[in-house]
């Protein structure tokens, strides 16, 4: 047979030596290669730098499998991917106002899109979670989302026919721990980089936007970018935008206990916003045009309303509304939503 | 990406390295880790839980009368983090344990819980210091292992942070018949991290090679209710805040020195 190497004594000796050496070291070398995670030049420095969790192909693959596997839900029907689907920029493709978890239970908030999470200083719309690695503990424990519980999740995966082997590949040990589950999730979610929208070409290569969108950008920069700033369209602050529309969710105050934080929510990134309807923390606005209309005519007075927002609204002309709408479409990254998982 | 050179001559070059590697790679780590080659000494810390200043018997699932508030209280759970253990010498030098995170769980009929601190360097120690809680660093740096695993359920998932201690149970003094203290918070102004330094008086903990001396502490489990706090006033705490810091102030006062075994 062509290419067949005759087993010379040296090779046999080598083979025996390797057998006596820890088998797992050899295995790691063979299957687990570092994963390159893109850091676009026009983005700021990431917050999460994978310091204790170097991303690898096997770690990413494990995280991806966990993300889409309903095994981590109480009714075995729901996965992270049920609420966060690639086709909806990792928001909910079912367009429910608030999330729907195990046994069809309604959650408390609208499901946000997931992208560029390694640039996030905190997570959730009240900023309650301080690190990308611990974020998945919340949906795993929450009886309105996956509900299986993190301690249970460890047991289920440890007793599974395939998962221990996948942990072995990713972490050099087939013992499943909560930390390893979380590191795998962070590798998968951290790799979800969206940097290929027309707005990126504009920032990166000075490629102009279509004319209406260019005009929309001027309006956006003046009226919106005070909060929705930078390439991620957010400064990650907590603001009351006057559009809570009867939602009794106290938002940031849930975490801080301060009444000045009532009705404040994290300023969201608007990347891929075209695909993530409905909008706001409670899904109270159905379409992007509804959002623009609401900023134009329905900003409600509130003790915590941000001073940059005029009570009543910006009173945009129909031309301005159309231009703003065209601008928001420039934040859509089609390569990102068309990835197959 | 290819990490190993598939060129056969490359392998030959690596032969000596592989030889050495295979001889040492799998040896069990029986080194004691303190780097000085002495047989390891370990120190046991015993937490002996009692009830009230007179150290009456304490147990989970047993109705007890609080000596100060006269409230009847039955614990169903008592768990707390003991972390960042240090041993101090009379000359002021300090030995700090690395990765020092443990949970004490009071269970069943046993009111004495033991922690073993391995690899303590020999010396005469005059005090032990520890933290009840988890330092800010581990509250803010993502997934942790061991006692800090979120699978221990001593972790708030919706507003990140460790629950430094849990005391739960029943009492007719509480409006709904139950009390639940989940105490944590690592940020000002609601920082509930507390440390205590417990001196051994004139006595010295004598750590010599291969020894296992022990420190015996008494823990007053009634101490949550101290300084005018009664269970009827405060029966449910589930997030950082002024109530949590008050209870944390009380609980750190529960630990006192009893005796040493050298």
Task: Select the residue of B3, B152, B160 nearest A130 (Cβ to Cβ).
Answer: B160
Q: How many residues does chain B have?
A: 262
| pLDDT value of residue B109 | 79
Mean pLDDT, residues A159-165 taken together: 98
Share of chain B above pLDDT 90, in %: 83
CB contact under 8 A, B142 and A53: yes
Query: Residue A222: which CATH number?
Result: 1.10.760.10
For residue A44, being part of any structural domain is answered with no
* Minimum distance, in Å, between the CA of residue B137 and any CA atom of chain A: 12
- Regarding whether A294 and A262 lie in a shared domain, the answer is yes
ipTM for the predicted complex: 0.88
Chain A with chain B: Cβ pairs closer than 8 A: 92
Mean pLDDT, residues B67-75 taken together: 97
- Regarding whether A178 and A76 lie in a shared domain, the answer is yes
Confirm or reject contact between A311 and chain B (CB < 8 A): no
pLDDT grade for A31, boundaries at 50, 70 and 90: low
CB contact under 8 A, A124 and B158: yes
Within chain B, residue ranges assigned H as helices are: 8-24, 136-140, 242-252
Residue A278: is the preceding peptide bond cis (ω within 30°)?
yes
Structure tokens at A294: 């609401």
Q: Of A202, A89, A86, A184, whose CA–CA distance to A140 is shortest?
A: A184
- Regarding whether A175 and A92 lie in a shared domain, the answer is yes
Give, in order, the Cα–Cα distances in Å from B58 to each of B54, B63, B218, B260. 11, 9, 11, 22
Residues of A in contact with B11 (CB under 8 A): 14
- Regarding whether A203 and A164 lie in a shared domain, the answer is no
- Regarding whether A186 and A145 lie in a shared domain, the answer is yes
Mean pLDDT, residues A117-131 taken together: 98
Domain residue spans of chain B: 1-30, 41-261
- Report the C-alpha dihedral over residues B59, B60, B64, B70, rounded to 10 degrees: 120
* Residue A333 structural domain: 198-338
The number of domains in chain A is: 2
| pLDDT over 80 (residue A272) | yes
For residue A295, being part of any structural domain is answered with yes
Structure tokens at B199: 């001196």
| pLDDT value of residue B38 | 55
Q: How far is CA A284 from the centre of its chain?
A: 21
Query: Residue A334: which H helix or E strand, with range?
Result: helix A334-337
- Please say which residue of A190, A225, A259 terminates a domain: A190
- Regarding whether A172 and A222 lie in a shared domain, the answer is no
Q: Of B57, B238, B74, B58, whose CA–CA distance to B172 is shortest?
A: B74
| pLDDT value of residue A122 | 98
DSSP reduced 3-state for A127:
coil
Confirm or reject contact between A156 and chain B (CB < 8 A): no
**DSSP string spanning B98-153?**
TT-EEEEEEBTTB-EEEEEE--PPSEEE-EEEEEES--HHHHHS----GGG-GGGS
CB contact under 8 A, A137 and B155: yes
Q: What is the pLDDT of residues B150-207, one digit of tens each?
A: 999 999 999 999 999 999 999 999 999 999 999 999 999 999 999 999 999 999 999 9
Structure tokens at B255: 């630990």
Structure tokens at A170: 């990713």
Residues of A in contact with B149 (CB under 8 A): 177-179
Q: What is the pLDDT of residues B150-159, one digit of tens each?
A: 999 999 999 9
Q: What is the pLDDT of residues B101-131, one digit of tens each?
A: 999 999 877 899 999 999 999 999 999 999 9
CB contact under 8 A, A186 and B142: yes
CB contact under 8 A, B143 and A154: no
Share of chain A above pLDDT 70, in %: 91
DSSP reduced 3-state for A64:
helix
Residues of A in contact with B18 (CB under 8 A): 14, 17-18, 21
CB contact under 8 A, A129 and B157: yes
Task: Select the residue of B12, B22, B150 nearest A20 (Cβ to Cβ).
Answer: B22
């Amino acid at each position: 047979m062509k290419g067949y190497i005759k087993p010379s004594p040296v090779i046999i000796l080598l083979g025996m030596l390797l057998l006596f050496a820890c088998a797992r070291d050899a295995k790691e070398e063979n299957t687990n290669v570092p994963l390159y995670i893109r850091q676009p030049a026009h983005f700021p420095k990431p917050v999460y730098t994978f310091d204790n969790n170097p991303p690898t192909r096997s770690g990413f693959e494990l995280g991806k499998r966990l993300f889409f596997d309903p095994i981590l839900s109480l009714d075995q029907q729901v996965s992270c991917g049920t609420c966060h689907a690639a086709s909806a920029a990792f928001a909910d493709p079912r367009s429910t106002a608030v999330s729907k978890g195990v046994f069809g239970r309604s959650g408390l908030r609208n499901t946000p899109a997931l992208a560029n999470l390694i640039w996030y200083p905190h997570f959730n719309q009240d900023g309650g979670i301080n690190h990308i690695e611990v974020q998945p503990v919340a949906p795993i424990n929450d009886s309105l989302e996956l509900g299986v519980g993190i301690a249970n999740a460890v047991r289920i995966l440890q007793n599974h026919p395939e998962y221990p082997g996948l942990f072995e590949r990713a972490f050099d040990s087939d013992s499943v721990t909560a930390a390893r589950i979380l590191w795998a999730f962070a590798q998968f979610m951290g790799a979800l980089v969206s940097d290929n929208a027309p707005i990126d070409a504009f920032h990166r290569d000075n490629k102009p936007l279509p004319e209406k969108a260019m005009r929309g950008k001027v309006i956006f920069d003046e009226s919106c970018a005070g909060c929705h700033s930078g390439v991620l369209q957010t400064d990650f602050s907590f603001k009351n935008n006057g559009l809570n529309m009867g939602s009794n969710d106290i938002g940031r105050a849930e975490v801080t206990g301060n009444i000045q934080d009532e009705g404040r929510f994290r300023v969201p990134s608007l990347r891929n916003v075209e695909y993530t309807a409905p909008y706001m923390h409670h899904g109270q606005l159905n379409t992007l045009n509804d959002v623009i209309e609401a900023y134009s005519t329905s900003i409600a007075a509130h003790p915590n309303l941000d001073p940059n927002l005029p009570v009543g609204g910006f009173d945009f002309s129909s031309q301005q509304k159309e231009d703003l709408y065209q601008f928001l479409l420039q934040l859509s990254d089609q390569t990102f939503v068309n990835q197959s998982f | 990406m290819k990490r190993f050179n598939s060129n056969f001559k490359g392998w030959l070059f690596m032969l000596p390295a592989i030889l050495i590697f295979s001889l040492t790679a799998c040896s069990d780590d029986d080194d004691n880790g303190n780097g000085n080659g002495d047989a390891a000494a370990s120190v046991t810390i015993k937490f002996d839980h009692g009830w009230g200043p007179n150290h009456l018997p304490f147990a989970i699932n047993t109705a007890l009368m609080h000596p100060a508030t006269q409230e009847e209280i039955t614990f169903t759970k008592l768990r707390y983090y003991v972390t960042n253990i240090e041993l101090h010498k009379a000359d002021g030098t300090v030995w700090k344990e690395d990765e020092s995170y443990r949970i004490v769980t009071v269970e069943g009929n046993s009111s004495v819980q033991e922690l073993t601190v391995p690899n303590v360097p020999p010396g005469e120690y005059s005090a032990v210091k520890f933290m009840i809680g988890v330092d800010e660093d581990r509250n803010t740096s993502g997934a942790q292992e061991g006692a800090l695993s979120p699978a221990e359920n001593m972790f708030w998932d919706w507003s990140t942070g460790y629950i430094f201690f849990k005391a739960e149970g029943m009492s007719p003094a509480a409006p709904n018949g139950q009390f639940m203290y989940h105490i944590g918070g690592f940020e000002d102004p609601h920082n509930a991290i507390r440390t205590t330094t417990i001196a051994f008086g004139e006595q010295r903990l004598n750590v010599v090679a291969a020894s296992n001396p022990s420190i015996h502490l008494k823990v007053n489990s009634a101490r949550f209710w101290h300084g005018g706090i009664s269970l009827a006033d405060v029966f449910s705490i589930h997030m950082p805040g002024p109530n949590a810091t008050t209870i944390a102030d009380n609980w750190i006062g529960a630990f006192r020195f009893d005796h040493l075994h050298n």
